[in-house]
Structure 1
Amino acid sequence: MARTWAFVMMGLARPAMARIPGIGFWKLCGSGTGEGFTPFPNFGVYAVLCTWPDKQTAEKAQSDASIFKRYRAKSAESWTIYMSADTARGAWSGVAPFEPTENSAQGPLAALTRATIKPGILTRFWRRVPNISRVIGQDPNVMFKIGIGEIPWLHQVTFSIWPDAARMADFARTGPHAEAIRAVRDEGWFREELYARFTLLGDEGTWGGTSPLKEALNK
């Protein structure tokens, strides 16, 4: 029943989200199976992405907003990450959702990519995904990774956390991921795309019984 509720709330939660004090840009997303980077939905995991004027406002909303309380009450587990955008380029639903600080902080960072895939490219795009998923799943440097999206197959988001910028760049420049990036540029796969990097400010809750960031944020 909880999974059915969460799926239905992809539509019904929108009015409640829009009424949260202080909220800026927000999106409700489902996820993929396996490593998350697959075309097959995982009806047990959902993501809510929001922007806020500051961390204090974000924490207060997480604590007080009734819609977030309902999500936690229905969940077997929940995990919230607080971040500050370092760099961002591109658009999401026609807007630039993140206000970058142009920081170049040392240490762990998160990367988010989002794209609207052209329908005629779907087969070529998803043909490459299993190889990328396999490589990132085997990479000992990635601290966390998941594929999410607003509309299955067409609107895709990848989110990953890395120990530092150098090891993230090494992954991006080599193997299947680098080949896919070249194809995106050469063949124009996307109608809209966004890339952003974030400094990690803290987290609440657990994923798989622990915080994937516990050691990194306590150093």
Structure 2
Amino acid sequence: MMGAARLMLPRVPEIDFWKLCGSGTGEGFTPVPNTGVYAILATWPDHATAERQTVQADVFRRYARHAAEVWTVFLTPVSARGAWAGENPFRPSDDPGTGPLAALTRATVRPARALRFWRRVPDISAMIGQDPNVAFKIGIGEVPLLHQVTFSIWPDAESMALFARADGPHARAIRAVREGNWFREELYARFRVTATRGSWHGTQPITMKEPA
């Protein structure tokens, strides 16, 4: 399915940037692959197109037929810096101002730094897993060990910032990344969660408020 989708996704009308990713075991932030969970990240011209194509396009329908469960998160980018495969695929717009916030980080790890990078990951995984504010978190990637993505959803900007600033494994890892030049390429983006569809482990990880 992952191989076939590489041929099918470019033919989906109005799809722009897209990536196919595997995931790690446990919280997802491990180098050991989880062969049961995969992610498709795609950008679209607008929310209505995203809603329609992720249901109607042949490749998404094929995934849904073979999957035990599908959860789709619709996002509006509100900030983005850095590059992914040489470009920044996210075009920030005005923040809708309501709903949970999602953070995405993507990095290409320098091979010579990969071992040191992965030594830090278990402590960071445990830290984010224990944070009572995080509504959802997963580690995914395009290439095992070297091309890594973290994705997390938070109720608000304050709880997200508190985790990022807190002294601990995450802050120490960030300092090590900067001082050791561990990444060849990196991207940081923040999104407003505008809608979700489906379920994750039989439940809905986040609660969306109805518009006033």
Q: Is 1:162 aligned with 2:154? A: yes
1:22-77 deviations in Å (ceiling 9; x for gaps): 10000000000000000100000000000000011111101210110110000000
Structure 1 stretches of 4+ with a deviation exceeding 6 A read none
Q: Is 1:69 aligned with 2:52? A: no
The equivalent of 1:4 in structure 2 is none
5+ residue gaps, structure 1, are 1-8
Structure-2-length-normalised TM-score: 0.96
Alignment of 1:133-144 (within 5 A): 133-144=125-136
Structure-1-length-normalised TM-score: 0.93
Compared with structure 1, are the counterparts of its residues 193 and 176 closer, same or farther at alpha carbon in structure 2 (3 Å cutoff)?
Answer: same
Amino acid at match of 1:181: I
Amino acid at match of 2:203: T
The equivalent of 1:5 in structure 2 is none
Shift of 1:116: 0.2
Q: Is the 8 A contact 2:195 2:208 kept in 1?
A: no
The equivalent of 1:124 in structure 2 is 116
Q: Is the 8 A contact 1:30 1:47 kept in 2?
A: yes
Q: Is 1:196 aligned with 2:189? A: yes
- Does the residue aligned with 1:71 lie in a helix, a strand or coil? helix
Amino acid at match of 2:191: F
The equivalent of 2:43 in structure 1 is 51
Shift of 1:11: 2.1
Separation (CA, whole Å) in 2 of partners of 1:121 and 1:217:
43
- Does the residue aligned with 1:13 lie in a helix, a strand or coil? helix
Alignment of 1:177-216 (within 5 A): 177-213=170-206, 215-216=207-208
Shift of 1:134: 0.5
For these two proteins, the number of residue pairs brought into alignment is 210
The equivalent of 2:30 in structure 1 is 38
5+ residue gaps, structure 2, are none
Separation (CA, whole Å) in 2 of partners of 1:13 and 1:83:
22
